[in-house]
Structure 1
């Protein structure tokens, strides 16, 4: 099986369920950001010795595939999306909120700015958070440019960045700042 199709040689990319769009389209930027976030979360997961946090990261990677499919669906066929597979659901967003609440109860957040880099895992998770925030901005731009964007996909991205922030704090452990060199 060949990996190359040559279909994108004209500067377009395929949408889920048919159709093509320019690779320079802001919707493609959003999908690329989601793809990048999945990869960065994979880096964090590969570094993570904590099985619980690794499972949380893996589950987010899988859910971000759903977000990407939702965003990349041909507008004429959005009615053919499958909830939880190619369509973001309310349950996905609610699940994030529940997990955030659980993790914050276990490790209350400190009211200070955190400089990323306490651990390799927390740094990679913080990197993923910034990519997710960029994806969120591109989704807003895509909606403003006239693309049909699921409000739940946008809400999911907003909430998953909050969760990833909390996961980074867990991954950082008790020591979140390096000692001062004064």
Structure 2
């Protein structure tokens, strides 16, 4: 079992970091965060306490993962994605429980996207760069724009589809106007 790599400039207080995970420059990880194996957390990220990050997750630079956020296995989070966790933020007023936001297995969130509190990004879904997600995105959906709207369906490559019985067939993403859900 290969130990995690933690850059010398990172401040990692959590002991719950999986093997082969790489944590780069100027990343802060608070003590109660859980990070899986073989993850890549790029520079200048912040990970709060009530956070669960699965295995093989990539988090690009400039992302803050706040309390109540869960990233399942094989998730990709692009640079400068903004997560939010409080539906009615006020200075010095904190909710007793933060809204839970889930990015499901295999989903990707493009750079600069914003996710409002309490949404779920479905399995293998794709959120376009700069999208503002105000509602949950279904499994395998492609969501783009502000507010994000559904424009197509992700189809997994054949080798992935055979390993995932609930997956679509094919090897490409298709775009079609499906409206907002």
Q: TM-score, normalised by structure 1?
A: 0.24
Q: TM-score, normalised by structure 2?
A: 0.24
| Higher helix proportion (structure 1 or 2) | 1
Question: Computing the radius of gyration over CA atoms, which structure comes out larger, 1 or 2?
Answer: 1
Larger RCO (CA within 8 A; separation ≥ 6): 1
